[in-house]
Structure 1
Amino acid sequence: MVRIFLDYIGEAGIWLCIGFIAQICFFLRFLIQWVVSEKHSQSVIPISFWYLSICGAVGLFSYSLYRRDPVFIAGQSMSLFVYIRNVMLIRRQR
């Protein structure tokens, strides 16, 4: 099944996998944030949210470089700065 999928997508397969994994990271960050917020009965953004954001942004930035998509290159590079800065602020606070 996996082999059929990889044959179908061709040489871009690894890049599609990177793109999908990055999107999964972005989905997981909101899932984790929701679960933690429900646990605390208030909106909470755990540090794992920011780490998953960084992973997702790096993956999508890499994928957008491969695709030569200036919209996503610009968007992910700017958002990556915000995610890293938030982690730095949280670490400094601890």
Structure 2
Amino acid sequence: MHHGLGYYLSHLTSEWGKYFTGMNTVDLIWLVIGLLGQSMFMMRFIVQWIHSEKHQKSVIPESFWYLSLIGGLVVLAYGIHRVEPVIILGQLPGTFVYVRNLMFIHRDKKKRASIME
């Protein structure tokens, strides 16, 4: 069965309307928090892309890891609030990776600073 794009957009709009109408204030606030976290998490890819274009090679800037950590933690908080195991299991392991990469970066900065002294 084939439906046009208009049908799907209309259906999506209708379902979102039902979704938001049934939401209490606390859930709406948590939805906004979750969307902000997801936006920060997504921005890390844009930052990495711009940085790589600038250097004409694949480079991961320090800000990528901060956006990953902060965005991931906010999305994780949202997942915990919503008791969403898919979100929790998807975000929790990454936080350790992001922290570890930031630890490497800061260790290397300290090492370089001590060499410069």
Shared fold, TM over 0.5:
yes
Per-residue displacement from partner, 1:16-74 (whole Å, max 9, x unpaired)?
01111011111111111111100000011000000000111111110001110122212
Following the alignment from structure 1 to structure 2, what is the Cα–Cα distance between the partners of residues 86 and 76?
A: 16
Following the alignment from structure 1 to structure 2, what is the Cα–Cα distance between the partners of residues 22 and 69?
A: 15
Structure 1 residue ranges, 4+ long, deviating more than 3 angstroms after superposition: none
Superposition RMSD in Å: 1.3
1:89 deviates by 0.6
Q: Does 1:92 align with 2:107?
A: yes
Q: What residue is the counterpart of 2:11 in the other structure? A: none
Q: Does 1:40 align with 2:71?
A: no
Following the alignment from structure 2 to structure 1, what is the Cα–Cα distance between the partners of residues 70 and 86?
A: 19
Gaps of 5+ in 2: 1-19, 110-117
Secondary structure of the residue aligned to 2:57 is: coil
Following the alignment from structure 1 to structure 2, what is the Cα–Cα distance between the partners of residues 13 and 45?
A: 34
Q: Does 1:58 align with 2:73?
A: yes
> Size of the alignment, in residue pairs?
88
From 60, 67, 75, the equivalent of 2:90 is 75
Between the two structures, name the one with larger relative contact order (CA 8 Å, sep ≥ 6).
1
Following the alignment from structure 2 to structure 1, what is the Cα–Cα distance between the partners of residues 46 and 97?
A: 20
**Percent of counterpart pairs with the same letter?**
47
Secondary structure of the residue aligned to 1:35 is: helix
Gaps of 5+ in 1: 1-6
- What TM-score, normalized to structure 1? 0.87
Letter in 2 for 1:78: P
